Amino acid sequence: MNNFVTGGNYGDTNGDVVARILPGGDHNGEFREYLDRVARLAHAITDDRGRPIPVIFRPFHENSGSWFWWGAAHASPSQYIELWRYTVEYLRDTRKVHNFLYAYSPGGSYGGVSDVYLRTYPGDDFVDVLGYDNYDGSDASPQWVNGVVADLAMLARIADEKGKVSAATEYGISGALKANGRNGNLNWYTQVFDAIKADPDARRTTYAMTWANFGADQFFVPHPATGDLPEHEMLADFRAFYDDPYSVFAGELSRVYDRRTRAVSQQPLAHIVSPTDRERVTTPTTTIRVKVSNARASRVWYTVGDKAKQYPLRYDPASGYHTGTWQIGAASLDNTVTQLKVIATIPGRARLELTNSVILGARPPMPPGVVDDFEGHPDDTALRSEYSTYGTNTISLADANGGKALRFDYDFTFQTYTGIGKRLAGDWSDYGGLSLWLTPDGSDHKLVLQLNAGGVAYEAYPSLAGTTPVQLTIPFSQWRPAPWDTANADRRITPEDLRNLSQFNIFVNQADGVGVTRGSVLLDDLRAS
């Protein structure tokens, strides 16, 4: 989906898009118009007898990264969850689309850790396929393959618990296959397939989707001899994968759509649409929206904190929500967390109870040039809501450096890098570098500080040798474009770049030959200086 705020494409991450297309946002209408187009297509997809054809619909994929406007740095977990729920409810309930199976597919890896994978899970009533995307840049190294097997096994077990199916919703070699003579592992497909097939849980993965063959310059599946192109050197291995009795390709499917199933009755369901869980509310009043599905509620009300007073919510037929105005008051906007509790009574059934934690008031303003001093986060959950996560890690607040600091815990059992990031704005053109307080963990792994300025990801690499706290200043003249950005390899940070900030990331990359796989790093007072 293109950017509904700026008009740019899906890679344009400006405009705070998710917040502005949700109910109450100023671009919700444009989003609905897009979903209307999706609905028209869904209704038009029929077989020769006019029967709807089932479609796997996979919106907002790879949200664990931040390269799309719906990604982790651009939407909190609760915002993402409500965006997904809104999409399903609008298509299913308003536009009567009933031939979609909804596939949830963040990007990996997860090291087999389910709570990280489920961090943005929209809920069992809104998802049919549990998937994830994972591409390999290691030529099927044992570490990457073992991580894929652990993740797919985890997805299969979650699918069992939830009555879903699991899938590798995208997989392959990073950046596409290369021309003959340039591919590192010619048995990549069978090695990955054999490892998955050998695991009792991972082998139950329902399907695995490759990406497309766009042409001779970008293709993800080996090709036969075509025109002047010879047969690709990995085709023999792909054919061995195809010929394996355990693999099933489309041509081998039969009578799939004639199978009969018994639909499960939908149970009453309710969720708080706004404010979303862990959202900051900075105005003295805000609108509460609650969606009740599969039942008619006789009464819906809310309470705040530990107060017993009940405030009614009234049904709005135009929006389909139970709504009301929460009179917070300016005096309560003091950077504290309160509980918004909603109760809906369903005639003849037990009542539904919902709770969202809401942060009241703006985060205390930080001085110009400060990325984070970690003093304004009321708790670990509030901290995590401001940072997107790349890979598997845990961040928390630690008592250090005379106040609060960031504790970053990582594990390289199934991954080679992991990180966090947050959005950034401001004008740093008058500053000469970035300073920070750091307690390394003595691991000698590679700490990466990444500043996206002027559309380029510039990096610096403080050492993780030793365990003594240090105060560092890294001049901007020493920052370099990320190694993968070969197009900008010779570029250096300019004052103009520093007027156009968008993101600050912290990564820990596994260093070759380092036997330590787990560690903890403390960081504080990240600021321009």
- Contacts of 177 by beta carbon, 8 Å cutoff, 6+ apart: 183, 219, 220, 221, 222, 232, 234
Q: Which of 33, 89, 161, 170 is catalytic?
A: 170
Q: Give the separation between CA 105 and CA 60, rounded to whole angstroms.
A: 8
Q: Give the separation between CA 240 and CA 257, rounded to whole angstroms.
A: 28
Place of tokens 């003849």: 348
142-147: long-range contacts at Cβ-Cβ below 8 A with a sequence spacing of 24 or more?
143/412, 143/414, 143/415, 143/416, 144/109, 144/416, 145/191, 145/192, 145/195, 146/195, 146/414, 147/108, 147/109, 147/111, 147/112, 147/413, 147/414, 147/415
Place of tokens 């809906």: 344
CB 222 within 8 A of CB 235: yes
Q: Which of 62, 82, 279, 386 is catalytic?
A: 62
Q: Is 82 a catalytic residue?
A: no
Q: Is 231 a catalytic residue?
A: no
Residue 79 one-letter amino acid: Q
Q: Give the separation between CA 62 and CA 78, rounded to whole angstroms.
A: 16
For residue 25, give the DSSP letter: S
Place of tokens 């004052």: 495
Q: Give the separation between CA 524 and CA 282, rounded to whole angstroms.
A: 26
Q: Give the separation between CA 343 and CA 298, rounded to whole angstroms.
A: 11
CA angle 104, 110, 112 (to 5 degrees): 100
For helices 235-243 and 188-198, the axis angle rounded to 10 degrees is: 30
Neighbours of 111 (CB within 10 A): 21
Which residue, 34, 233, 298, 144, is CA-closest to 224?
Answer: 233
CB 449 within 8 A of CB 472: no
Which residue, 50, 51, 52, 79, is CA-closest to 63?
Answer: 79
Residues forming the active site: 62, 170
